[in-house]
Amino acid sequence: MLILTCPNCGITAEETEFHAGGEAHLTRFGPGASDDDFEQYLFMRDNPKGVHFERWRHVYGCGKWFHAARDTMTLEIFGTYTAQTSTVPQNIIDKITDRRPDWQPPETA
Amino acid sequence: MSEPISALNGATYTQGIAEISALDPIGMISIRGDLAAGYLKKPLKKIAGVDIPAMRGINMIGGKGIAWMSPDELLLICPYADVAANLEVLHKSIGSNHALAVNVSDARAVFRLKGAHIREVLAKLAPVDTSPDAFAPGMIRRTRLAQVPAAFWMVDGDTAELVCFRSVAQYVFDLLKTAAQPGSEVKYHSH
Amino acid sequence: MSTRIATGGRLLNKSNAVNFSFNGKQLRGYEGDTLASALLANDQMLVGRSFKYHRPRGIVAAGPEEPNALMNLGRGGQFEPNQRATTTELFDGLEAASQNHWPSLEFDVGAINKHLSRFLPAGFYYKMFIHPRPFWKHVYEPIIRHSAGLGKAPKEKDADSYEHFHAFCDVLVIGGGVAGLEAARTAALAGAKVILLEQTAHWGGRAPVDGGTVEGASVASHIDALVSALSGMENVHMRTRVMGAGVYDHGYVLGYESLKDHAPAAQGPRHRLWRIRAGHIITATGAIERPLSFAGNDIPGVMLAAAARDYLVNFGVSVGDRTVVVTNNDDAYRTAIALVEAGLTVPAILDARVLPEDSALMARAKALGIRVMMGHAVSSVKGGKRVTAVTVCSQAGEGAVLETIECDAVAMSGGWSPVVHLWSHCGGKLVWDTNLATFRPDVNHPPIGVDGLGFVTAAGAAAGFFGLDDILHDAHAAADGVVTTLGFKLPVDAVSPNADRQEESPLAPVWMMPHGANVKLREKTWLDYQNDVKVSDVRLAAQEGFVSVEHTKRYTTLGMATDQGKLSNINGLATLAGALDADIPTVGTTTFRPPYHPISMGAIGGEARGDVFQPLRRTPMHAWHEANGAEWEPVGHWRRPYSYSRPGETTHDAVMREVTNTRTNMGLLDASTLGKIIVKGPDAGKFLNMLYTNMMSTLKPGKCRYGLMCSENGFLIDDGVVARIDDDTFLCHTTTGGADRIHQHMEEWLQTEWWDWNVYVANVTEQYAQIAVVGPNARKCLEKLGGMDVSKDALGFMEWVDGELGGFKCRIYRISFSGELSYEIAVDAGVGQAFWDALMVAGHDLGVMPYGTECLHILRAEKGFIMIGDETDGTVIPQDLGLNWAISKKKEDYLGKRAQERSHMVDPTRWKLVGLETTDGSTLPDGAYAVGEGVNENNQRNMIGRVTSTYHSPTLGKGIAMGLVLNGPDRMGEVLEFPGTDGKTYNAKIVDPVFYDKEGEKQNV
């Protein structure tokens, strides 16, 4: 069972206080979007073995959403940051690069 | 108009390792907005007599106070009878600014826990470090109590208060009774 | 025989004799005994029967690794099967019964299986019971079920209670032996917050039995001093009777505390499950001795050498008068020496090794006059329910008997395996140690924690250090390293104590005794005592192609018993490696999974049983409903009245009465569970336009509008009435099940997509008791309460108003889910019951009756109103339900709009909502499918529709239903066939889904 630090209220708590919300940094496609774009947005998700950016909600705590950078293999957590971010913050990228020198930031990030 | 009653109407449990009582209705106003804004700070100070607490803090004086709930949410605690008047003061101060103040007094149930073992009773039900060095008076912790959301704070060394949703008041009372059953001292926080 | 002797018994309180029973026989032991030591003291070596062959089984070990001594303990609500005698502390009145035998332990019919053993080899289940096919279900399985199984299942509800406890620390030390104590001391001296857990009732582990000196004092007094020093430290919490059960991600550990197993009369919970979060975990879990593989090694009286020593030193029990010691290492000599020093006889030590010179221990044994036979082995053990002799052979040969030695016990040692379970649970890797002939933790591959660094460190014997001095130094160094990475600093004067060093001769790996044992011997050589897996079974599995250790385990059941292979694992792997002609590390090991030792189901559940098994949500009027005949319908965690039955009334009668009364007089519905969410801000209208399919921003203050919500995938997720409170504020009603879900849905979009929109939401569902006052007399009832104008002109249909009724401050919504004149009235929850009472009084002469959810369903179905969860199932879009009128054409966007434009969503052949009426007035079965022409590729009849809601309507005197039907709205009047699961076929005509008051006159009066 993971521990996560909510960047909104500063609490480090066990996973049961949180709710996982899937991949982070998706771009919404609405009316007028092509079928391909809409399919990508609604259904297609990365499932990397390694660094993953994901959404969590501190559901039993402050109720706020946030993002986490996590290694899906080792479960190492590189950092968390608020959900009101469209791109991965530089300090998180630096931390990951420090820990995973071969890692390439995703183009969308 | 009838007198309002709390969900458990003053139920108490005194046979266990902590004394548990369901409190009579308490005024609670949920506030959403920019916590740094003067139109919130000023009326709140006037109503509660305390400043807006820092992150995860609770400032209480004599049955009134303010709890930090999230970066844009506070809980104003006051006498039940004062809620309407306090809401009016808040709404007046907020004016056309973007903020929300809403009465949630009846949507909540409040319990008081007393005794030397209350930190242990809480730690049986919540995944929280309730040791004195991690959880002291002045802090509020929103978390889960077994299977429902709850928030609690230490009033003093051997008194805690806990708030949950009204509909689960009986469940929470039963949980606390179970966790405080006779002979269940852990002797972890207390010796 | 095994018996109590005059000396020894350091754990006993001999002044307190304790009575207990075994298989009904009254026996006596002492306080401090385990059930196993007390049984041995009463010459009860035979304690059970094995799983497959029902072979007699004796006590082998003295700890949790014991595979044989499993007991049914207690009775009634405190009965529990499969309890280990070796870890069960004796108490006065303990009742134990052995397992897996019939009719008795001494004479067991199932033991015939042992004569059939050549027909019951590895994988026999798979091989024997395949043909003929029907035999499995009717013959084989019933017989196997009858004869298999260990303990009995309890028949009564568990009388005890259980709990969890969350604890947090910097360093968690698991194991309270010398290593654990030293590690805890070191970590504590550095200032870390330390929790120290010991699974037994005693500190010190096996060091006091093995002996030695620390800084010149006996190891026992060293332990006493250490325990007393640690218990005085503020930053140390130490606890006995807590087993480290499992290590999980990010420093999470489960500790299993036994509170009442040794004192059932005590108050409080029986077990406590510690949920510990540690910065770092030190596993000082010691080591387990391995058996040796020789023929007859399962005969009662054959025991681990260290266990024999434990019983002697700890409990003053001799396991036999004449004990042959057989070993491949020096440690077993300690047993021989201890036995002889206690006045017992050791006819010989059979040592498989051939060594150039004697070690100190060997010399000491010889000095005591013990006959040491180097290079020798057990050829086979003689005896049935008890050892009578061993035959001796050369280890190097094939087992030719050189001599026979009479004895009643055999103490064996195949070396020691570190307890690596906790290290391995969360991914710690192992490395093969050639010198020790065992796996030990690979310090380069620890389990990885939240920061990407290792979070478990093994110390002492658990890390592969076996000499007392080595153990102490390793534990000290391990803890020093741990606290340093955590940011603490060990004071310079805190150093490791030194112990006397005793050099031992190296162990020689012995996986089969004798080395060239023939098949006859191998067939009598047990690896897994509980599951009856022999050396021959593992070899057979290898021969049949099971080269993976995990496959071999499952094929042979090696290590699958309740002891999870604590004794058999390494020997089994070595046997498999031998049969495959491979290295042991290449073969690898099976996966270690938590818990280390079985824990109770009660402890896992904790407090969650009985009344608090799950939360029950109650409305402010819950108690009234209960007192007035409510039958409950669970809706999420809520309980809502399904109907209120009167004496002599069936549930169906009650529902029919409630419907008729509501349509003719008036009814009250507790609608408090419906979600109520405040949405406020300058962008509230814009936000709701995105959330609902219809236009909410144009709603005028004081008015209400019904709205639909879809997921981004286009499917309907909720519906309800939205009231505009003022320019900036809306109140959104949701379904009962939708309140929390929709509130979170709103927060999610506001926080993660439209965080620049100025909107706040608040879930005020439980602030209000909401009561629907429904029926032709509804207005009269409210007028009787008085206080505000509720006339059509003052409060029209789909309007709301704040006011005071009968002295209750309230908000009234003129909305109707029944088609009747209807007011939904919200008051503060604290006066909900009082207001309900007032309505019951005011409505008394107006025919008021409460009604439940089933009546609500019929009322809405008669009107053709859809219900989320009935007409929708997560695959239905509003367009399917003929709700196009509630979908704004003007809006550029709303959640689900793009999805509803996909080809499948605009497919004209999507099933559409219609009404259904049986041709004979009967009620259609719920969920029934309509069948059409032809069959599909699976030769099933093609389906063209299904029933989504179906009821008997007392208003119309016939069955009514709604359903989704292919081209439904274009097929009005057509009769469809619905085959029921009762074998009947129902014929139903397609009709308009609005059955009652099509013009809506009644709700708009």
Average pLDDT over chain C reads 94
Query: Which of residues 225 through 284 in chain C touch B, CB cutoff 8 A?
Result: 237, 266-269, 272, 275, 277
The answer to whether residues C659 and C644 touch, using CB atoms and an 8 Å cutoff, is no
Task: For residue C111, name the pLDDT band (cuts at 50, 70, 90).
Answer: low
pLDDT of C131 above 80: no
pLDDT of C846 above 50: yes
What was the pLDDT predicted at C531?
Answer: 86
- If residue A38 lies in a helix (H) or strand (E), which one and from where to where? helix A35-42
- C532-548: burial string, b at 16+ Cβ within 10 Å, e else: bbbbbbbbbbbeeebee
CATH number for the domain whose boundaries are B27-106: 3.30.70.1520
**Calpha distance B176→B150 (Å, rounded):** 12
Strands C236-239 and C194-197: parallel
Q: How many CA atoms lie within 13 A of C630 on its CB side?
A: 20
Q: Which residue has the tokens 């309140």?
A: C739
DSSP state of C665: S
**Calpha distance C498→C211 (Å, rounded):** 14
**Span C30-43, average pLDDT:** 98
C239-288 pLDDT, tens digit per residue, is: 999 999 999 999 999 999 999 999 999 999 999 999 999 999 999 999 99
Same fold, B12-24+107-179 and B27-106: no
Among the partner-chain residues C275, C611, C617, the one whose CB lies closest to the CB of B168 is C617
Helix/strand/coil percent split, chain A, to 5: 20, 30, 50
Token pair for C346: 């050791």
* Helices within C296-397 (DSSP H only): 305-315, 331-341, 360-367
Contacts of A68 in chain C (CB under 8 A): none
Which residues does residue C557 pair with via DSSP β-bridges, in sequence order?
A: none
Helix/strand/coil percent split, chain C, to 5: 25, 30, 45
Question: How much of chain B exceeds pLDDT 90, in percent?
Answer: 97
C932 φ, ψ (degrees, to nearest 5): -115, -160
Nearest Cα to C773, choosing from C863, C662, C644?
C662
Average pLDDT over chain A reads 95
Contacts of B140 in chain A (CB under 8 A): none
What was the pLDDT predicted at C589?
Answer: 87
**Span B144-168, average pLDDT:** 97
Other Cβ atoms closer than 10 A to C150: 18
Task: For residue B191, name the pLDDT band (cuts at 50, 70, 90).
Answer: low
Task: For residue C1005, name the pLDDT band (cuts at 50, 70, 90).
Answer: confident
With an 8 Å Cβ cutoff, is C758 touching chain B? yes
Token pair for C922: 């009967």
The answer to whether residues C188 and C91 touch, using CB atoms and an 8 Å cutoff, is no
Among the partner-chain residues B4, B126, B178, the one whose CB lies closest to the CB of C830 is B4
Query: Which of residues 278 through 337 in chain C touch B, CB cutoff 8 A?
Result: none
**Calpha distance C286→C178 (Å, rounded):** 9
With an 8 Å Cβ cutoff, is B69 touching chain A? yes
pLDDT of C149 above 60: no
**Calpha distance C386→C47 (Å, rounded):** 11
Task: For residue C920, name the pLDDT band (cuts at 50, 70, 90).
Answer: very high
Contacts of A63 in chain B (CB under 8 A): 70, 73
Inter-chain CB pairs, A–B, below 8 Å:
35
Burial zone of C219 (CB within 10 Å; 0-12 exposed, 13-18 middle, 19+ buried)? buried
The answer to whether residues C708 and C694 touch, using CB atoms and an 8 Å cutoff, is yes
The pTM (predicted TM-score) of the whole model is: 0.95
**Span B113-125, average pLDDT:** 98
3-state secondary structure of B46: helix
Chain A residues at the B interface, defined by Cβ less than 8 Å, are 8-11, 13-14, 16-17, 60-64
**Calpha distance C831→B61 (Å, rounded):** 28
- Closest alpha carbon within chain C to A1: C249
Cis upstream peptide for C850 (omega within 30°): no
The residue among A3, A12, A60, A84 with the most chain B CBs within 10 A of its CB, best to mutate, is A60
Task: For residue C52, name the pLDDT band (cuts at 50, 70, 90).
Answer: confident
How many angstroms away from the CA of B71 is the closest CA of chain C?
A: 12
Report how far apart, in Å, the C-alpha atoms of C235 and of each of B124, C194, C195, C224, C254 are.
21, 6, 8, 19, 20
* More confident site: C122 or C742: C742
Nearest Cα to B101, choosing from B112, B89, B109?
B89
Token pair for C173: 């030390």
The answer to whether residues C621 and C833 touch, using CB atoms and an 8 Å cutoff, is yes
* Helices within C177-330 (DSSP H only): 178-189, 207-210, 219-231, 305-315
pLDDT of C122 above 80: no
Which residues does residue C914 pair with via DSSP β-bridges, in sequence order?
A: C963
Contacts of B98 in chain C (CB under 8 A): 681-682, 758, 760
Which residues does residue B77 pair with via DSSP β-bridges, in sequence order?
A: B28, B65
What was the pLDDT predicted at C125?
Answer: 61
With an 8 Å Cβ cutoff, is A62 touching chain C? no
Side-by-side strand order, sheet with C302-304 = C302-304, C409-413, C323-327, C349-351, C372-374
**C-alpha radius of gyration, chain A, whole number:** 15
Report how far apart, in Å, the C-alpha atoms of C875 and of each of C710, C878, C910, C985 are.
11, 10, 11, 27
Token pair for C955: 């208003």
pLDDT of C128 above 70: no
Among the partner-chain residues C614, C678, C766, the one whose CB lies closest to the CB of B167 is C766
Query: A10, B127: Cβ pair inside 8 Å?
Result: no
Q: Which amino acid is at C914?
A: V
Cis upstream peptide for C595 (omega within 30°): yes
Distance spanning both ends of chain B, measured CA to CA: 50
pLDDT of C530 above 50: yes
What was the pLDDT predicted at C113?
Answer: 65
3-state secondary structure of B112: strand
SS (H, E, C) C694-727: CCCCCCCCCEEEEEEEECCCCCEEEEEEEEEEEC
What was the pLDDT predicted at B1?
Answer: 59
**Calpha distance C403→C657 (Å, rounded):** 94
Query: B178, C161: Cβ pair inside 8 Å?
Result: yes
- If residue C350 lies in a helix (H) or strand (E), which one and from where to where? strand C349-351
C124-138, C143-157, C380-394: which range is least confident on average? C124-138
Contacts of C250 in chain A (CB under 8 A): 1-3, 75
Question: How much of chain C exceeds pLDDT 90, in percent?
Answer: 90
Q: Which amino acid is at C616?
A: L
- Closest alpha carbon within chain B to A12: B128
How many angstroms away from the CA of B177 is the closest CA of chain C?
A: 10
**Cβ partners under 8 Å of residue C827, min gap 6:** C768, C769, C771, C808, C809, C810, C835
Task: For residue A109, name the pLDDT band (cuts at 50, 70, 90).
Answer: very low
Helices and strands (DSSP H and E) totals, chain C: 27, 51
Contacts of B9 in chain C (CB under 8 A): none
What was the pLDDT predicted at C119?
Answer: 62
- Closest alpha carbon within chain C to B16: C268
Neighbours of chain B (3+ CB pairs under 8 A): A, C
**Cβ partners under 8 Å of residue C983, min gap 6:** none
The answer to whether residues C928 and C912 touch, using CB atoms and an 8 Å cutoff, is no
Looking at domain B12-24+107-179, does it have CATH number 3.30.1360.120? yes
Question: How much of chain C exceeds pLDDT 70, in percent?
Answer: 96
**Span B172-185, average pLDDT:** 98
Domain boundaries, chain B: 12-24+107-179, 27-106
3-state secondary structure of C521: helix
Q: Which residue has the tokens 């009747």?
A: C820
Cis upstream peptide for C81 (omega within 30°): no
Distance spanning both ends of chain A, measured CA to CA: 27
**Span B60-77, average pLDDT:** 97
Task: For residue C561, name the pLDDT band (cuts at 50, 70, 90).
Answer: confident
Q: Rounded to the nearest 10 degrees, what angle do helices B118-125 and B169-179 cross at?
A: 120
C482-521 pLDDT, tens digit per residue, is: 999 999 999 999 999 999 998 899 999 999 999 999 999 9
A63-77, B90-104, C145-159, C431-445: which range is least confident on average? C145-159
3-state secondary structure of B121: helix
Instruction: Go through chain A and tell me how many residues it has.
Output: 109
- If residue C691 lies in a helix (H) or strand (E), which one and from where to where? helix C684-691
Query: A61, B142: Cβ pair inside 8 Å?
Result: yes
Among the partner-chain residues C250, C747, C902, the one whose CB lies closest to the CB of A75 is C250
The answer to whether residues C677 and C734 touch, using CB atoms and an 8 Å cutoff, is yes
C500 φ, ψ (degrees, to nearest 5): -65, 145
3-state secondary structure of B2: coil
Among the partner-chain residues B33, B103, B182, the one whose CB lies closest to the CB of C767 is B103
Side-by-side strand order, sheet with C25-31 = C25-31, C13-22, C94-98, C70-73, C80-84
Token pair for C289: 């001795």
The answer to whether residues C456 and C486 touch, using CB atoms and an 8 Å cutoff, is no
What was the pLDDT predicted at C116?
Answer: 64
How many angstroms away from the CA of B16 is the closest CA of chain C?
A: 10
The answer to whether residues C416 and C290 touch, using CB atoms and an 8 Å cutoff, is yes
- Closest alpha carbon within chain A to C427: A74
What was the pLDDT predicted at C106?
Answer: 74
**Calpha distance B53→B69 (Å, rounded):** 10
C947-957 pLDDT, tens digit per residue, is: 999 999 999 99
Report how far apart, in Å, the C-alpha atoms of C193 and of each of C168, C196, C449 are.
9, 10, 19
The answer to whether residues A12 and A95 touch, using CB atoms and an 8 Å cutoff, is no
DSSP state of B147: T
